[in-house]
Copies of this chain bind each other. A is one copy, B any other.
Amino acid sequence: MSNGAGDFRSPLNRNVVVQTALRYVDEHGLEALSMHKLGAALGVTAMSLYNHVDNKDALLDGIVEELWSRIELAPNTHDDWRETIATLARALRDLVHRHPHAATLLTSRPIVPTAALRTFDALLRTLRGAGLPETRAIQLLRTMLAYALGFALTELSWSNAGRDHEEKELQRLRQISNMLPPDLPDELLEVGLKVCGACDMTAAFELSLQLMLRGLDVD
């Protein structure tokens, strides 16, 4: 018996290593991920992972690839390019919400995986098909990327524990005050509660999204 999973386990490969790493981060947080512990989770020692991944940085890059490959664009039923681009924004925010602990990697690892480019390519095609000039389409894409990713990441970082909006008001306040400085002057407390208050973030996201698209529209 050479490992806890028995001897019938198929040999490791890069893909299962990366998949397991993402699952591990989803469950235990990014800081908890180590080569040793990931190895243990796979019934193997840390050193064995280096047969499938160059080093830890490469593993993190692998997670980013995996994230981009899991983006789920809603089917583009409407023939409106504004809806198409809104779809990307929602899909990105969804992705961040599904992987809150791994999402920061999307802006901290400087790589653009194939899966991301495929998504961009499809979107640019649609936009061009709708008659948008190419430079405009690219600018639009970049803007939406930045908005959706930025919104989701700040939203997440400022309400980390806040799973659902179902929680009790009192513990919501407690949670917000944990993010605020303990020595916060009274006159700033109100501002903190307002800006960090959970409210309906989905609605806020949609509203700003529509505003942006309208801004593009009147051009």
Task: Identify the A interface with B (CB < 8 A).
Answer: 65, 104, 106-114, 117-118, 120-121, 124, 134, 138-139, 141-143, 145-151, 153-160, 179-181, 183-185, 187-188, 191-192, 194-196, 204, 207-208, 210-219
Contact = CB atoms under 8 A, between A and B. Distances in A.
Contact of A150 (B148, B215, B217): B148
Nearest to A188: B117
Contact of A207 (B139, B194, B211): B139
**Main SS class of interface, A:** helix
B208 A218 contact: no
B112 A192 contact: yes
Contacts of A143: 151, 204, 208, 211
Contacts of A120: 191, 195
Contacts of A138: 194-195
B160 A110 contact: yes
A216 B217 CA distance: 12
Contacts of A204: 139, 142-143
